[in-house]
Structure 1
Amino acid sequence: MAGRTQVNPTRMELTRLKKKLVTATRGHKLLKDKRDELMRQFLDKVRENKRLRERVENGIQAANKNFLLARAGMQDEVLNTALLAPKQKVTLESETENVMSVDIPKFTFKTRTPDENDIYSYGFAFTSSDLDGAVKSLSDIFPDMLKLAECEKACQLMAAEIEKTRRRVNALEHVMIPELQENIKYITMKLDENERSTQIRLMKVKDMMLKEAHGYEDYLNG
C-alpha cells in the first residue's frame, strides 16, 4: 500500500485532492478499457500471424523444392542466365493505421506491368517447368509475405503499448489512487479534529463569558 505524503491539511487542499482522485479514477478506467481492447486485438493479430506464417513457410518450401528440381535438370549457366535480368518490377508503399494510439504499418505494392507472365524473365524453350513452378510459387506467396511482415510488426508495437499501458494502470491502481485516498482521509480527520477543538474552545469561552456576565457559576453552585 502506498504511504501518505506530506500534505497541508486545509479545505482547499482537500478539494484539490478530491478532484485529482476523480480524474485519476476516470483515467484508470479508461486505461483499463484501452488495455483490454488492445489485448483483444493483439490476440487476433497473433492468430492471424500464425496462419500467415504457416502459409508463407509452405509456399517457400514448395518454391525451394521446385528450385532444387530445376537446378538438378538444368545447367548452372542456363539457370543463372534465365534469372539474370527480371522483366517485372515491384514498388512497395508503406502507410500507417492508428489502432488504439498505436501506428500499425500497412504495406501495399504495385507491379510495373499488369501482365502476370512478366514474372518470368526468360523464354520457355531452354528452361524446365520446375523453374516456372518455383517462380510462380514465390510470386503467389509474395503478398502473404508482405502481410506477414506487417502483422509481425503490428504484434511487436501492440505488445509494447500493452506493457506501457499495464504499467500506467498499475501505477494508478497501486500507488497514485491509494495515496490520494490516504491523504484525503488524513486531511478529513485533521479537519474534524480541528473542528471539534474549535467547538470545545468556543464552549469554554461561552462558559467564561456567562460566568463573568451573569454569575452563572454561582447559580449552578447555589
Structure 2
Amino acid sequence: MVKLNVNPTRMELTRLKKQLTTASRGHKLLKDKQDELMRRFILLVRKTNEMRGEVEEELQQAMKNFSVADALLNDKYIEELLAVPKERVTLDVIEKDVMSVKVPVMNFQHDSDLADGPLEYGFLNSNDELDQSIKRFTKVLPKLLELTEIEKTCQLMAKEIEKTRRRVNALEYMTIPQLEETIYFIQMKLEENERAEVTRMIKVKNMGTT
C-alpha cells in the first residue's frame, strides 16, 4: 500500500489520526447500512418470488381461457368487447425513504369489487372460457400492480447496495490502510528524529566537558 505524500510533522500526524478516526467510524456506519439493506433486500426478493409465482400462474390460466375463447368466438366480437374497459385504473406515485433509498409507493385506485361483480357485456355471443379469462385477468390486477412496486423497489435497493459496497471497500482496502501506513511512517520518522536529536545533544555535552 502506497503511503500518502505528506510532511512527517506532529501537526500532520494529529490531522491524519483524526482522519483515520472519521474513516473508521464511517466504515462501520456504511457496513451496518449495507448489512441492513441486504437483509431487507433478501426479504423483498423472497416476497417477489412468491408473488411472481402466484401472478404468473393466474395469468397462464387466464391466457389458456382466452386462447380457447379466441378459437371459438368471432375475432371482431372479441375486439369490440375489449375495446372499452369496464373500469379506469388511476395511479399516484410518491416516494418514501428506506435507508437513504428513495423507493416508489404506488397507490392504485380501482374498484375492489370488480372481480366479484357481473361482467358488463351480453352473453349471447360469449362463452364460459371468455368469462373466466376476463375474471381471472381482473382478479390478478391488484397483485400485478403490487408486484410492480416491489420489483422496482428491489431494483433501486440493489443499486444502493452496490454503491454502498464500493464505498465500504474503498474505505476498508484503500483509505484506512493508507492512513494507517502513513501514520506509522510519520511516527517512525519522528522517533528517528528524536533519537538523532538526543544523540546530537549527548555529543555536544561531551564536547563541552572535554
Alignment of 1:206-217 (within 5 A): 206-209=205-208, 211=209, 217=210
Partner secondary structure for residue 6 of structure 2: coil
> Matches of 1:138 and 1:79 in 2, distance apart?
15
Q: Classify the secondary structure of the residue corresponding to 1:83.
A: helix
Which residue number corresponds to residue 182 of structure 1? Answer: 181
> Residue 190 of structure 1 aligns to a residue in which SS?
helix
Cα 1:108–1:119 change in 2 (3 A) is farther
What amino acid sits opposite 2:151 in the alignment? E
Equivalent position of 1:68 in the other structure? 67
Instruction: Write the letter of the residue equivalent to 1:205.
Output: V
Asked if structure 1 preserves the Cα contact closer than 8 Å seen for 2:96 and 2:105, the reply is yes
> Is contact 1:86–1:120 with CA below 8 Å preserved after alignment?
no
Residue 162 of structure 2 corresponds to residue 160 of structure 1: no
CA contact (8 A) 1:86 1:119 kept: no
Please state how far the C-alpha of 1:118 moved relative to its aligned partner.
6.9
Gaps of 5+ in 1: 212-216, 218-222
Query: How far apart, CA to CA, are the structure 2 residues paired with 1:119 and 1:196?
Result: 96
Aligned mates of 1:115, 1:199 — CA distance in 2: 91
1:10-29 equivalences in 2 (<5 Å):
10-29=9-28
Please identify the structure whose Cα radius of gyration is greater. Answer: 1
Give the letter for the 2:51 counterpart: L
**Alpha-carbon shift at residue 66 of structure 1 (Å):** 1.5
In 2, the alpha carbon distance for the partners of 1:29 and 1:35 equals 10
Cα displacement string for residues 187-216 of structure 1 (whole angstroms, at most 9, x for unaligned residues): 00111111111122222223333x2xxxxx
Partner of 2:30: 31
CA RMSD in angstroms, aligned pairs only: 1.9
Whole-angstrom distance in 1 between the partners of 2:54 and 2:113: 25
CA distance in 2, matches of 1:131, 1:28: 59
Q: CA deviation at 1:77?
A: 2.5
Amino acid at match of 2:158: A
Give the total of aligned pairs: 209
Structure 1 stretches of 4+ moved >6 Å: none
Name the residue aligned to 1:220: none
